């Protein structure tokens, strides 16, 4: 399953952006692994999930603030949706929001959950055995082509503008 998410930075708090996406992915991966272990301990059926990602950093044309567009790939047998968007949720949406605040070192500020935003229609179910696979794959490819737009990229030596998982 592919999940689109937009990650924003807080307006009034100085954030160290060096390694920010790496911290986010490490935090999310750890949260997914902890959820997996917890379900195993409870004797519930569960499946391993190997997180994969791709992201771009952009700068807003009006506010000149950096933000990130990301796609996360997770095992559809582990997560069949985003789950609750509420703060106390245990689904993927909550894990993503918790991991983003952790990466920002703002875990103590749940009021900032909206910094991780899910756009309309954020899920793409990729099942190679499904008759609709090619259609869904094409829709996802078109959706992710937005990542390649040049206009809002900020290329410099200090900070990457694109990244993806390496394995």
- Geometric angle at alpha carbon 67, from 76 and 141, rounded to 5°: 45
Residue 73 pLDDT > 80: yes
Q: Any idea what DSSP says for residue 62?
A: T
Tell me what pLDDT residue 85 has.
Answer: 66
Question: What tens digit of pLDDT does each residue of 23-38 get?
Answer: 999 999 999 999 999 8
Mean pLDDT score of the chain? 91
Tell me what pLDDT residue 142 has.
Answer: 96
Q: Which position has the token pair 């047998």? A: 77
Separation between Cα atoms, residue 115 and residue 97, nearest integer Å: 8
pLDDT band with cut points at 50, 70 and 90 for residue 13:
confident
Residue 40 pLDDT > 80: yes
**Domain boundaries along the sequence of the chain:** 2-164
Average pLDDT of the residues in 127-148: 95
Which of 23-27, 78-82, 148-152 shows the lowest mean pLDDT across its residues? 148-152
Which of 63-72, 78-87, 90-99, 120-129 shows the lowest mean pLDDT across its residues? 78-87
Q: Which position has the token pair 């756009």? A: 119
Q: Which residues of 124-161 are buried (b: 16+ CB within 10 A; e: fewer)?
A: beeeeeeeeeeeeeeebeebbeebeeeeeeeeeeeeeb
Tell me what pLDDT residue 139 has.
Answer: 97
pLDDT band with cut points at 50, 70 and 90 for residue 67:
very high
Tell me what pLDDT residue 88 has.
Answer: 65
Tell me what pLDDT residue 9 has.
Answer: 94
| 69 close to 56: Cβ distance less than 8 angstroms | yes
pTM of the entire structure?
A: 0.91
């Amino acid at each position: 399953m592919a999940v689109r998410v937009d990650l924003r930075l807080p307006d009034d708090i100085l954030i160290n952006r060096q390694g920010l996406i790496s911290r986010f992915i490490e935090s999310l991966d750890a949260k997914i692994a902890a959820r997996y272990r917890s379900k195993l301990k409870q004797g519930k059926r569960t499946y391993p999930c190997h997180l994969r990602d791709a992201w771009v950093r952009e700068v807003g044309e009006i506010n000149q603030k950096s933000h990130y567009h990301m796609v996360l790939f997770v095992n559809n047998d582990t997560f069949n949706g985003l789950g609750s968007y509420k703060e106390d949720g245990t689904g993927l949406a909550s894990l993503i929001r918790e991991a983003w605040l952790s990466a920002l070192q703002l875990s103590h500020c749940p009021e900032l959950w909206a910094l991780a935003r899910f756009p309309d229609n954020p899920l793409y179910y990729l099942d190679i055995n499904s008759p609709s696979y090619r259609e869904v794959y094409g829709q996802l490819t078109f959706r992710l082509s937005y990542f390649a737009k040049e206009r809002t990229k900020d290329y410099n030596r200090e900070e990457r503008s694109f990244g993806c998982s390496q394995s």
